[in-house]
Amino acid sequence: MASISQLNQFPCKSFSVVPPRHQSKASLLPNSVGISSRFTEGPKLSARELARARPVSRVRVADEDEWGPEPAASGEDSGVAVAEEEEEKPVEAAEISRLKKALVDSFYGTDRGLKASSETRAEIVELITQLEAKNPNPAPTEALSLLNGKWILAYTSFPGVLTLLSRGRLPLVKVEEISQTIDAENFTVQNSVQFGGPLATTSISTNAKFEVRSPKRVQIKFEEGIIGTPQLTDSIEIPENVEFLGQKIDLTPFKGLITSVQDTASSVVKTISSQPPLKIPISNNNAQSWLLTTYLDGELRISRGDAGSVFVLIKEGSSLLTP
């Protein structure tokens, strides 16, 4: 129902009264049916004169458009909106979970992108685009608690990393892990590559500072490179025999020699492991890059860098890392 103030703003001439030609001294009082009547004081009037003296009311009903639509009950509408929103949340979460699983499954056999075919790359790009459209944290740099921690690289199209992964450039050496560790409290980031060989493992890292430049973008300035202390393999498993040119060769006589080598290797491991890693300062002002985070949740992060390169990283400990 309209309020008093709305009635005062009613957009038409709501009521007008035409006074009678013959005004008597008797007062006009409303009767029981809301029509003014003249009391019998003074001379009597004829029926024709009485009809002329009766007030004439002219009322125009406003169109619905002039009033505007009847406001709906706010409580009812808000309840429906909340209910619809609650229904959408689990549906959205289920869709995001499905897309993440499909994305991780598409990485199988690609060696972090090195061996991905053009068809697989196209499929990955499509899944990434769909996830970016459903990003639950559209301002990732304002959710530093989610960025904090160690992230394992699962896929990239960055040529520099793909070159590093190439077996031809690193004979007998395998890239076991590429990771990025973010310390959101101190605004530092460490990129690390762990190598594994037949006799030792080592790592190469870079330490950098980052600055927030926008809700999605950070600027990274590298400060130093670190060559980790090699960790030699102190145990070598030798089979009892090997097959060579169709003949089996018994290796049992060599086990004594292997044991002696293992003892020597163990003492070498203790000596090398006690040495600190080698740190190399980076003073080049051009040693900077930027990173745009386009998707972020508690276990998956998608970032984009120079030349449209993409990085998909999974939080350490996430079930997405389980084959």
Q: What is the mean pLDDT of residues 189-196?
A: 92
Candidate from 17-21, 150-154, 185-189 with smallest mean pLDDT: 17-21
Cα→Cα distances 157→104, 185, 242, 251, Å: 15, 29, 40, 45
68: left (phi over 0), alpha (psi -120 to 50) or beta: left
Q: Is residue 106 part of a domain?
A: yes
Band (231; pLDDT cuts 50, 70, 90): confident
Do 162 and 287 lie in one domain? The reply is yes
Do 161 and 203 lie in one domain? The reply is yes
Query: What pLDDT is stored for residue 48 in this prediction?
Result: 53
Do 258 and 154 lie in one domain? The reply is no
Do 250 and 137 lie in one domain? The reply is no
Do 195 and 241 lie in one domain? The reply is no
Burial class (CB in 10 A: 0-12, 13-18, 19+), 313: buried
Do 208 and 143 lie in one domain? The reply is yes
Counted domains in the chain: 2
Q: What is the mean pLDDT of residues 272-286?
A: 77
pLDDT at residue 39 greater than cutoff 50:
no
> Residues 96-122: pLDDT tens digits?
999 999 999 999 999 999 999 999 999
What secondary structure, in 3-state letters, does 16-47 show? Answer: CCCCCCCCCCCCEEECCCCCEEECCCCCCCCH
Q: Which two tokens stand for residue 69?
A: 């639509």
Candidate from 183-192, 198-207, 250-259 with smallest mean pLDDT: 250-259
Do 141 and 185 lie in one domain? The reply is yes
Global model pTM greater than 0.75: no
Do 225 and 236 lie in one domain? The reply is no
Do 264 and 144 lie in one domain? The reply is no
Segments forming the whole domain that contains residue 169: 89-229+277-318
> The domain that contains 99 carries what CATH number?
2.40.128.280
Q: Is residue 55 part of a domain?
A: no
Do 297 and 201 lie in one domain? The reply is yes
